[in-house]
Structure 1
Amino acid sequence: MDELRHLIREAVDAKKTTYKDLSIAIGKNHAYIQQFVERETPRELRERDARAIVELIQGAAAAGEAAPRRAPGFAPQIVPGEQLVGHRDLPIFAAAQGGDGHVIVTFDAVEYVKRPSVLEGVKGAYGIYLTGSSMIPAYEPGDMALVHPHLPPTRDKDVVLYHVPPANDAEAIIKRLVSFNDREWTLRQYNPFLEFTESRVEWSFCHRVVGKYSAR
């Protein structure tokens, strides 16, 4: 832990990151890492938090710029107003919090909104009002994920996974897709930072998130 404290202090002094950014990246209050370094409270970090901090600092050093206030791989696309299409025909569904970071999506549109150009003419495109905190800061509760159901799975993109074809009420996972093979998906969430795997047999349907509307 002393080596980690030294690494953090050097990165902050070199303005590669800040105590606040590192704290938020692992889902803690803004002073958590500063207290860890300067007051040794707590005396030790959890292994996954320590690993995430090292990766953030190393990534910032490699890029030659400040580490962002987010976990590795967080790059959501916010759709600017000029890219909206005139027709208000994109159905938006509601999601309710389920267990283990899952959500229950009800496929009965609660409203229709203007669709972004990336979804213009896409059959079956939709949006989901998000709930829960596992994807903060990429997605805040109340944000609307914009979903293209026909794009293939792609690494380092956000996805919605379903057990069954989306219809009526369906259990879903909304995470960052880190990698995948014939047997499993490797997924990432940000709050708390965690990477884990899920079976492709159990979660057979993968829809790509192509952007978001921020909560109003």
Structure 2
Amino acid sequence: MSNPRDRLLELARRQGTSLASLSEMIGRNPTYLQQFIRKGSPRKLEEQDRRVLAGFFGVDEEELGGGGASGAGGEEKSYAPRARLPLDAAWIDVPRLALAASAGPGATVAEEEPFDAFRFSRRWLREQGLDGSMLSAIAVEGDSMEPLLRAGDEVLVDRRPQPFRDGIHVVRMGETLLVKRVAAQGRGRFTLLSQNLAYPPQEVSADEIEIVGRVVWKSGRI
């Protein structure tokens, strides 16, 4: 059996996951697994930590130091089904905010307080290049983005600061929120575009709008 420290490091690199994020996933301080691998402290992973990590990577616990009858620590081999990642470690709750972004004339900004949450797979978010702590979900009102977005759909908004790219964004104009396709026109000008051709494009200057975030996912009835 390979060294559990080497194996853990190999799995983390293969998955593209940092040791700090894995440490936080198992409820430890960010340097915990770095110290385990580099300094040998702790000497071996605790059973619960090992179980969570093995479930996350989809490997047998023995690969991370779980011993069979003759394995490390003299632990008995378990023939129970492989443990899976606990819900609080495998999933991230993204808040559903009590406000809406209009695909029509504009929705008045309400209290930005969560009333519920969508639960997303931590792995899926990572595969999409998304940071769960910078996401929120809001509802769509109006019909200007039909058929792409319909009234009652909810959209996932990525609020990370990042260089602007044309695409569908939630923008704030004064006291209203809009969800539109936003295209840069240069010289500090933007065009707000609707999917529904009954709504004409709207040209605005950079100081007239605040780009809240990029829409990266939607949910809604079929």
Structure having greater relative contact order (Cα 8 Å, sep ≥ 6): 1
Name the TM-score, length of structure 1 as normaliser.
Answer: 0.50
Q: Which has the higher strand share?
A: 1
Which structure would you say has the larger Rg? Answer: 2
Name the TM-score, length of structure 2 as normaliser.
Answer: 0.49
